[in-house]
């Protein structure tokens, strides 16, 4: 997609919003200009801090899930035996909507960043695990044979074949699930915290009834999700150039 | 160079491919292994590459019993085995990078080898195999013939003494195939390589094999060998000797089936 097209779409969405605001004419739907103004004034104050808190939770979860899911996925992908043992459990756990576990995780891990990070981690972990596993399992035996014939042992196969082969899987998994992760972060931040965009949106809207601020929070959370998506997409094009050349 | 002594090999499903099979390949010889589908040609090559292991008997290469892939054996497969995420240049460099990764340990790479600049070893091969202009392309962007030339450059950059090829040109169109067959003969003559090329095509066996091993119905118990001393150049294709070799092999294959 071209940048210009994205920009045109953003402007179009803004215009529809503006039109709706004019039609509805109620404080619960302020026009985009007011929200944008509120966003810009609040960002250097509270909003920025909440944004950073949420961003940190997402980034930490991504790092944690990549660090754990990639090795696990590579091992399962290489070993049909282990995969046979674990895949029924993964099959059962993968589709569970992790958001319903928010209260449970909060009970176990209490307040602070950790329970939020764990929630997002659970979403990303399974997605990455499954894609990396399937990618590793799907490598053609001819490819492995010929690299082994060049002298590669287990270690080198990991470094020169399995790891680069799993990179697109990692980035695809992140692209598919980072949106869900931010959505679930919103829910997780409704509880047991005074930091994060989820809290900010809820607090400004339901307690302070300051709707422009609430929408500024919604905007910030959207930008967080969008920013993560763009970052992953950019990395994908940069690190896996071979998938995009024809 | 290669000695197979009374080897047996069966797949886990019970398919018995070799039984008390012996065969010998001399240093510098050019062999073609011919036979119908399912006769065990590829299995034989994988045994020589130590990607599979005989269930009984012994394989020796250069006097050493063969247990794991040998650094001086090059293997070229029909499906090229190129890394899709690496450019032609990176693919050609792969073997050398692997040797650097392990260092000269005598297991994964020859103990006596020092690798200087990668480019010094790779560029001559890229040039020789006409790959310089596509050196920065990915495998998906180049033709089948170019892919196979990349695989050949990658293998030869490792300076092998034994080259194993499994149906290397089977998926290429006729002119590309003939070009690469000529190149194979040229490189073989130039470097004194011992070569074993597996093929199902009679014409290819008669062109590339100065000695031809014919495999038949499994299990193979003895080596049927045809001598084809004239096969030293790609112009051999135009001789009556070649034509009669093809006819002889065709009769033998029909007798098996």
ipTM, 2 dp:
0.82
Look at domain B78-159 and name its CATH class: alpha beta
Domain extents in chain B: 1-72+162-257, 78-159
Mark yes or no for CB contact A242/B140 under 8 Å.
Answer: yes
CATH node for B1-72+162-257 = 3.40.50.300
The pLDDT-based confidence of A224 (bands split at 50, 70, 90) is very high
Distance from CA of A240 to the nearest CA of B (A): 7
What is the three-class DSSP state of A10?
Answer: helix
When CB atoms are compared, the residue of A143, A159, A246 closest to B81 is A143
* Contact residues, chain B, for A245 at CB < 8 Å: 137-138, 140-141
Predicted pLDDT of residue B79 = 82
The answer to whether the CB atoms of A160 and B101 lie below 8 A apart is yes
Half-sphere exposure of B3 (CA within 13 A, CB side): 8
Sign of dihedral through CA atoms A149, A150, A156, A158? Answer: negative
- Between strands B194-199 and B162-166, the pairing is parallel
For chain A, give the percent of residues with pLDDT over 90.
65
B110 contact residues in A (CB cutoff 8 A): none
* pLDDT above 90 (res A133): yes
Which chain B residue is nearest to residue A143, measuring alpha carbons?
B81
The sign of the dihedral angle between the CA atoms of A224, A229, A234, A239 is positive
Chain A residue whose CA is closest to B93:
A150
Contact list in A for residue B95 (CB cut-off 8 A) is: 150-151
Of residues B38, B40, B36, B37, the one with CA closest to residue B23: B40
Residue A120 Cα, gap to closest chain B Cα (Å) = 30
> φ and ψ at B223, to 5 degrees?
-90, 120
Name the residue among B256, B163, B246 with its Cα closest to residue B215: B256
Predicted local distance difference test score (pLDDT) of residue B58: 93
Neighbour order of strands in the sheet with B211-214:
B73-77, B162-166, B194-199, B30-34, B211-214, B224-227
State the SS3 of B175-200.
HHHHHHHHHHHHHHHHHCCEEEEEEC
Average pLDDT of span A7-26: 93
For residue B243, what are its two tokens?
Answer: 């034509």
How many angstroms separate the CA of residue B108 from the nearest CA in chain A? 5
Q: Which stretches of chain B score pLDDT less than 50?
A: none
Three-state SS across A28-68? CCCCHHHHHHHHHHHHHHHHHHHHHHHHHHHHHHHHHHHHH
Candidates B38, B34, B47, B14; CA nearest to B246 is: B34
Q: With a cut of 90, say whether residue A16 has pLDDT above it.
A: yes
What pLDDT is stored for residue A21 in this prediction?
Answer: 94
B78-159 has the same fold as B1-72+162-257: yes
pLDDT given for residue B118 in this prediction: 80
What are the structure tokens assigned to B245, written together? 């070799």
The answer to whether the CB of B163 falls within 8 A of the CB of B157 is no
- Paired strand residues for B214: B34, B224
How near does any CA of chain A get to the CA of B187, in Å?
19
Is B136:A242 a contact under the CB 8 Å cutoff?
Answer: no
CA distance B151 to A90: 38
pLDDT band, residue A145 (cuts 50/70/90): confident
């Amino acid at each position: 997609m071209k940048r210009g097209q994205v920009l045109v779409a953003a402007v179009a969405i803004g215009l529809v919003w503006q039109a709706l605001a004019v039609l509805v004419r109620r404080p619960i739907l302020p026009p985009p200009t007011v929200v944008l103004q509120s966003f810009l004034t609040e960002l250097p104050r509270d909003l920025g801090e909440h944004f950073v808190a949420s961003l940190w939770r997402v980034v930490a979860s991504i790092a944690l899930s990549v660090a754990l899911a990639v090795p696990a996925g590579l091992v399962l992908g290489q070993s049909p035996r282990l995969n046979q043992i674990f895949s029924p459990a993964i099959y059962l756990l993968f589709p569970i909507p992790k958001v319903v576990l928010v209260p449970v995780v909060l009970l176990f891990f209490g307040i602070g960043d950790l329970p939020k990070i764990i929630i997002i981690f659970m979403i990303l972990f399974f997605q990455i695990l499954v894609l990396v596993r399937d990618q590793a399992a799907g490598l053609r035996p001819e490819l492995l044979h010929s690299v082994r014939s060049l002298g590669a042992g287990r270690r080198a196969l990991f470094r020169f074949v399995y790891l680069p082969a799993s990179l697109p899987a990692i980035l695809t998994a992140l692209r598919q699930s980072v949106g869900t992760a931010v959505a679930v972060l919103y829910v997780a931040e409704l509880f047991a915290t005074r930091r994060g965009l989820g809290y900010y949106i809820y607090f400004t809207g339901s307690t302070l009834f300051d709707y422009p601020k609430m929408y500024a929070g919604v905007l910030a959370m959207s930008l967080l999700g969008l920013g993560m998506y763009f970052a992953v997409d950019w990395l994908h094009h940069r690190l896996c150039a071979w998938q995009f050349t024809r | 160079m290669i000695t197979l002594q009374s080897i047996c090999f069966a797949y886990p499903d019970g398919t018995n491919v070799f039984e008390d099979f012996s065969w010998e390949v001399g240093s510098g010889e050019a062999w073609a292994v011919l036979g119908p589908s399912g006769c065990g040609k590829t299995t034989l090559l994988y045994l020589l590459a130590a990607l599979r292991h005989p269930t009984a008997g012994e394989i020796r290469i250069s006097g050493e019993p063969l247990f794991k892939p040998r650094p001086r054996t090059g293997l070229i497969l029909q499906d090229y085995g190129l890394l899709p995420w690496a450019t032609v240049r990176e693919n050609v460099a792969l073997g050398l990078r692997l040797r650097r990764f392990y260092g000269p340990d005598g297991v994964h790479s020859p103990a006596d080898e020092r690798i200087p600049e990668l480019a010094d070893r790779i560029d001559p091969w890229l040039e020789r195999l006409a790959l310089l202009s596509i050196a920065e392309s990915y495998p998906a962007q180049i033709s089948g013939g170019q892919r196979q030339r990349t695989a050949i450059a990658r293998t030869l950059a490792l300076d092998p003494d034994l080259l194993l090829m499994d149906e290397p040109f089977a998926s290429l169109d006729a002119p590309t195939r003939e070009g690469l067959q000529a190149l194979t003969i040229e490189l073989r003559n130039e470097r004194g390589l011992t070569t074993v090329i597996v093929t199902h095509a009679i014409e290819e066996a008669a062109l590339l094999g100065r000695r031809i091993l014919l495999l038949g119905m499994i299990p193979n118990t003895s080596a049927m060998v045809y001598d084809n001393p004239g096969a030293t150049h790609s112009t051999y294709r135009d001789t009556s000797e070649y034509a009669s070799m093809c006819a002889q092999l065709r009769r033998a294959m029909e007798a098996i089936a």
